[in-house]
Amino acid sequence: MQGRQARHQVRPEVGLPITYALSLLAPLALGCQGMNTPIYFASPEPILAVTGANDAMGNPPRIENGMTLQFRNPTDAEQKALDMQTAALGFDAPWIQRDHVHIELTYQVTYTPLPNQGPDDNPNDIPQFTIGVDGANQYTKYDSNIVAMTLSQGNNDAPQYIPLIPVTPQTIAQGQTISGTVREDDFNEAELDLDAIGRWMAPFNAVLINNSQVNPIGLSMVPANVVIPALIEIDVSFTANRNMKCTYDIRVRDDNDQLLHDTTNTLFSPTPTLFVPPAMM
């Protein structure tokens, strides 16, 4: 009886503990709001693997694979908004925009020496690998192989690959595994460069070699209010001078839920134009 009386007495104080208790749920509620809900895509099979043996031309082996991110078509309301945005800009507003689709690539390279291979003690032949990323947006596809063919026309020099995103060559020891990340800001730069090349007549070598935030050379034709398309295709090339394999995952943050995962939606299937350097045209 005493207990019941006391319980009635504390009721005016009930609000504060309830507030405290509910405040504990706040992190859960925030966590469920899609603040950190990336979607991962595993690298396609077969994985990138080379033995390190040079090709017939004496060049290090180079292997590639890639994936196309599948997006849905816009709804009627979204298409209407897109059309309004296009009218306001005065040029085409892409459906898959860089501001709403954020891409990151994480990779892992492992060097497994061949059974009869000795130590890597030649300072002029250090085990190393190189990764490059090409791709396509909904308007333009960039392939560094095409560019390399252009640059090598008329000479017998080794192909010079200029990927959309170059990853600094790294040395690696026998049995070692190296992990790395091509960050979202790397993709942001590549997406700007590709749009500049494809839609705004920018010289491809100038914009690819220079970081636009340091030296915006070649970007003079790009409108200040440009809406940059995101990559919808990601192609990864791997070069190594030893027996190595590379696995990677693509991480996508899809702000507007544009990735195709609802069976009632239809696939957005643009046909980007392959970029061909002027010398080959």
Partner 1 sequence: MAALVTSWLVAGASAARAQVTAEPSAVVFPDPAKFAHGLYTEGEVGAVAFFGKAGDAVSPGFAIGARVGYDLFRWFALQLHFVGSTHQLTGDNPLNGQLLQTYQGLIEGKLTYRFGQTSIFGEGGVGVERLSTNALYALGIEPRYRVGFVAGGGAGLDYHSLSRHFSVGVRGGFFVMAELTSSQELMATTYLRYTF
Which residues sit at the interface with partner 1, rule CB under 8 A? Answer: 2-3, 6-7, 10-11, 14, 17-18, 20-22, 24-25, 27-28, 31-32, 36-43, 106-108, 177, 179, 247-249, 251
Residue 110: name the closest of 50, 44, 46 by CA. 50
Choice between 160 and 179, CB closer to partner 1: 179
CA distance 46 to 128: 21
The residue assigned the tokens 């899609």 is 34
- Least distance from partner 1 to the Cβ atom of residue 22, Å: 8
- Least distance from partner 1 to the Cβ atom of residue 38, Å: 5
- Least distance from partner 1 to the Cβ atom of residue 186, Å: 16
CA distance 201 to 212: 15
Residue 11 burial (CB count, 10 A)? 8
What is the SS3 string spanning 116-155? CCCCCCCCCCCCEEEEEEEEECCCEEECHHHHHHHHHCCC
- Least distance from partner 1 to the Cβ atom of residue 163, Å: 19
Choice between 2 and 271, CB closer to partner 1: 2
Choice between 39 and 276, CB closer to partner 1: 39
- Least distance from partner 1 to the Cβ atom of residue 41, Å: 6
Asked if 230 and 101 count as a contact pair (C-beta separation under 8 A), the reply is: yes
CA distance 98 to 136: 13
Choice between 107 and 275, CB closer to partner 1: 107
- Least distance from partner 1 to the Cβ atom of residue 43, Å: 8
Choice between 21 and 214, CB closer to partner 1: 21
Residue 180: name the closest of 107, 263, 79 by CA. 107
Q: Kindly report the length of the chain.
A: 281
- Three-class SS state of 280: helix
Choice between 125 and 249, CB closer to partner 1: 249
